[in-house]
Structure 1
Amino acid sequence: MDMTTLLSAARIACKPDVSSKKRAFEQLAEMLALGQPNLEAEAIFDALTNREKLGSTAIGNGVAIPHACMSIHQPCGALLLLEDGVKMDTPDKKPVQLFMAILVPANQAPDYSELITQLTSTLIQKSLIEQICCYQDTQTMLDHFLELFDPPSHPFAGALAA
């Protein structure tokens, strides 16, 4: 997965004042609308909430991965980290603190399943979520996700790029 195309600092929010699932989805929709000239936040919000009605996208350990297929050219994501979690229908009954929202092109639905599976298998790790929840700024969060999902292929790649 190429996290550099999926996320950007503009689509990450660390610890905003959000106290409900509805408001979290609204904020995610606003961030996902950035750079999508043909989509409005309201349409994205509707797509995310309609998907949520089919079954909760919360995976446990304070994480949810709301997602939807829409008329876009490439997948995009938004990351929302809350100070206090919000109530959702979660398998472990814990409030959700980390939302990783994904929009994928409607014509790439099969790829979308693989993306969600990869995110779920990574983000379900309790120690990782505890570490992520300590972050205070968007750039640190973005850097961590880039390293987590797009690790350098060579041990010295990071040093060579600097």
Structure 2
Amino acid sequence: MKLSEILTLDCTLCAIKTTSKKRILEEICQLAANKVTELDQDELLDSLLDREKMGSTGIGNGIAIPHGRLPNSSKAVAVLVTTENAIDFDAIDNRSVDVFISLFVPEDSCQEHLNTLQSIAKLFSDKKVIKNVRKCTSNQELFDVIQQAS
């Protein structure tokens, strides 16, 4: 599944002000909670934090793909957030992160989850895409860049 198929404008935030890993994950979960009716914001956050305990989802070059599994859910949800200033996220290259693509998938959709993560990583390995993402100044512009790039 491609990011453009599961990302919606109301789950896209551009250049927000935040200062910590926990706070950005809370922001992501607040957006996702509007789409995932089976779980509340705290349960979504627990799912991301459980995954982060296994190792940071900061993949390098200022990008992180925090993700979690959703029990009792049938649809995948994506959230895209960029921050005004990069924050420490324990990324594999020790660089701060300013682009967060978060994914929540049904617990029983393991292969779909892996395919979607691979698709997101490939999309954001394109230097032109990431440059355009970082230039965005509005939620709509950020959403449109992803829709065009996918």
| Category of TM-score, reference length = shorter chain | over 0.9
Q: Which has the larger radius of gyration?
A: 1
Which position in structure 1 is the counterpart of 2:49? 49
In 1: Cα distance, 2:144 partner to 2:131 partner: 16
Which position in structure 1 is the counterpart of 2:114? 113
In 2: Cα distance, 1:2 partner to 1:87 partner: 27
For 1:147, give the aligned amino acid.
Q
For 1:95, give the aligned amino acid.
S
Which position in structure 2 is the counterpart of 1:95? 96
Contact 1:5–1:76 at 8 Å: present in 2 too? Answer: no
The TM-score with structure 2 as length reference comes to 0.93
| 1:3-41, Cα deviation, whole Å (9 max, x unpaired) | 454111111111111110100000000111112222101
Contact 2:80–2:101 at 8 Å: present in 1 too? Answer: yes
Unmatched segments (≥5 aa) in structure 2: none
| Larger RCO (CA within 8 A; separation ≥ 6) | 2
In 1: Cα distance, 2:36 partner to 2:132 partner: 31
Contact 1:69–1:109 at 8 Å: present in 2 too? Answer: no
In 1: Cα distance, 2:18 partner to 2:93 partner: 21
| 1:102-138, Cα deviation, whole Å (9 max, x unpaired) | 0001110111011111111221334432221110111
Q: Give the alignment of 1:53-72 within 5 angstroms.
A: 53-71=53-71, 72=73
The TM-score with structure 1 as length reference comes to 0.86
Aligned residues: 149
Unmatched segments (≥5 aa) in structure 1: 150-162
| 1:123-156, Cα deviation, whole Å (9 max, x unpaired) | 133443222111011111111111111xxxxxxx
| Aligned alpha-carbon RMSD (Å) | 1.3
Contact 2:70–2:105 at 8 Å: present in 1 too? Answer: yes
Q: Give the alignment of 1:134-145 within 5 angstroms.
A: 134-145=135-146
SS of alignment partner, residue 91 of structure 1: coil
SS of alignment partner, residue 9 of structure 1: strand
Q: Structure 1 vs Structure 2: percent identity of aligned residues? A: 26
In 1: Cα distance, 2:5 partner to 2:129 partner: 22
User: Which runs of at least 4 in structure 1 moved beyond 6 Å after TM superposition?
Assistant: none
In 1: Cα distance, 2:91 partner to 2:35 partner: 31
